[in-house]
Amino acid sequence: MDCLKRDEVVVFAGGTGNPCFTTDSAAALRAVQMRAEVMVKATQVDGVYDRDPKKFPDACRFESITSEEALQRRLKVIDAASIEILGRYSIPTIVLNLHVQGNIKRAITGEKVGTTIIA
């Protein structure tokens, strides 16, 4: 906890090792426990789309979307339990492409990258 008091960035990786918990829901749980300001989901795509961009070339990427809308649309980039948990605790999520060098740093320094799920 000392690193949090020094305003350092803390990165968690991995799951909980418990059944029924995805890596997304484990990350959401840790974000709530640590009272995180934001959760970053680094994944295979560059944000949240209205449908799978790998299957549908005309898929539209959201710059931002509310957690309620993401749940209503049943978007698959992050699981529904995670969206619900983060929304309940007002923790926004930035979804970005893991394979673009510097994306995580850009996100945590406030640069606009990927899609923000607004809690």
Range of the domain at 60: 2-118
Please compute the mean of the pLDDT values over residues 56-84 and round it to a whole number. Answer: 92
What pLDDT is recorded for position 58? 96
pTM: 0.86
Question: If pLDDT is split at 50, 70 and 90, which confidence band does 6 have?
Answer: confident
Domain count, the chain: 1
Angle of helix 80-88 relative to helix 23-33, nearest 10 degrees, comes to 10
At CA 79, angle to CA 42 and CA 16, rounded to 5?
A: 75
What is the reported pLDDT for 4? 61
* pLDDT score of 115 more than 70: yes
User: Residue 1, CB half-sphere, CA atoms under 13 Å: how many?
Assistant: 3
CATH code for the domain in which residue 64 is found: 3.40.1160.10
Long-range contact set of residues 76-81: C-beta below 8 Å, sequence gap at least 24: 76/52, 77/41, 77/43, 77/45, 77/47, 77/48, 77/49, 78/24, 78/41, 78/48, 78/117, 79/22, 79/24, 79/25, 81/22, 81/24, 81/25, 81/28
Alpha carbon 17 to its chain's center: 20
Q: For residue range 33-62, list pLDDT tens digits in order.
A: 989 999 999 999 999 999 999 899 999 999
- Percent of residues, the chain, with pLDDT higher than 90: 61
